[in-house]
Amino acid sequence: TSAAAAAAAARTAARTPAKSVEATKAADDAVPLGKVFAAMLAGVATVSGFTFAAETATASDVPPFDPAGQRYDQGTFSGRFFRMLLACDPRLLTYTEDDARRAGEMVANYRDLIANPPAGVENIHRALWEAQRISGASLHPDSGDVIPAPFRMSGYVPFNGPICVAMVASKTTPALLFWSWVNQSQNALVNYFNRNASSEMSNE
């Protein structure tokens, strides 16, 4: 009897790791968190690297700062590409609200800063374009409210990108439905937090 019980226990122990592995694999198939995390890291590193290279490469020929204008010529493909690339820079998420508001103050006082550049600033026009990019990435242009990080353009790669990967990588219907719901919810909130807030909304 003891020998039979020991053999049964051994068989159960042998099956347990296999079941555990199968359960882990099934969970990964349903919600591919590993692929999602890998996609986030790869996307953030790639876009951050390209935006740093693009901004640095064009730093020497920035146009005079104009708060109503654009740093890059929007009449060319490269100008439009660089504009959107720099807007999606994940590094913009590292700036605090205080940083963004200080950058906004620089933009508001751009005439004084151009006339009297601060000590240590080699190119005041480049500094002002960057200040506008930092403040515009975090603060709503109409209300001045802080836009939550997941709903900014700079948050697209680390937040929405992995969600899209999860939808594609999902292998079960419930998982696909879940990630589709997350994607649509995130898109709706992006539209809400970046809405035109210059006039009151009405249901009339």
Summarize pLDDT for 16-61 with one digit per residue, the tens.
454 454 544 554 555 667 777 887 888 899 999 999 999 999 998 8
φ, ψ for residue 200, nearest 5 deg: -70, 140
Give residue-wise pLDDT tens across range 177-192: 998 999 999 999 999 9
Neighbours of 23 (CB within 10 A): 10
| pLDDT confidence tier of residue 165, bands split at 50, 70 and 90 | confident
Average pLDDT over residues 50-75: 93
CA separation for the pair 103, 135 (Å, rounded): 6
* pTM tops 0.85: no
Report DSSP state, residue 71: S
Tokens of 147: 């836009």
CA separation for the pair 68, 199 (Å, rounded): 20
pLDDT at position 5 is: 52
Give residue-wise pLDDT tens across range 104-129: 999 999 999 999 998 888 899 999 99
Q: Which residues of 142-152 are buried (b: 16+ CB within 10 A; e: fewer)?
A: eeeeebebbbb
Determine what percent of the chain falls in helix, strand and coil, rounding each to the nearest 5: 70, 0, 25
Neighbours of 131 (CB within 10 A): 22
Which residues are CB-contacts of 169 (< 8 A; sequence separation ≥ 6)? 32, 35, 36
